[in-house]
Amino acid sequence: MNTSSLALRTLGGLSTGEVARGLLVPEATMAKRPTWAKQKIRQAAIPYRVREPAELPSRLSGGAATVYLIFNEGYAAGGAAALVRTELATEAVRLGVPTLTELELGPSHTPAHKTNLTFRRKP
């Protein structure tokens, strides 16, 4: 299971079918990915660790893509009774603003400058 699919399940609370639709893979394949990931982690003895701050900028584009997929499911729900899932779209915007601010400004700007930009941004 790639990090996007895991984040879509944990952060977005999306079902296996919703994640599969967002990543354009068959639902049966998506359902098997957690098992594959656990086997890979076990066989390779990959430890859990918190990323170092220097590693984070290279991971921002993946985070932004994940937030985009969460927003898409909220804005145009594929499997839900309602066409728009407002709470999901709102959560994606909440997660996306700091992610996009970091991508736009980069690590050289101060947190105060980033916060100021975030509040100026129009919804």
CA distance 115 to 119: 6
**Closest alpha carbon to 97 in 123, 72, 70:** 123
21 to each of 17, 42, 51, 52, 70, how far by Cα in Å? 6, 28, 29, 32, 11
* Per-residue pLDDT, 117: 47
pLDDT tens sequence across 95-114: 888 877 777 766 555 554 44
Residue type, 22: G
This model's pTM is above 0.85: no
Low-confidence ranges of the chain (pLDDT < 50): 1, 112-123
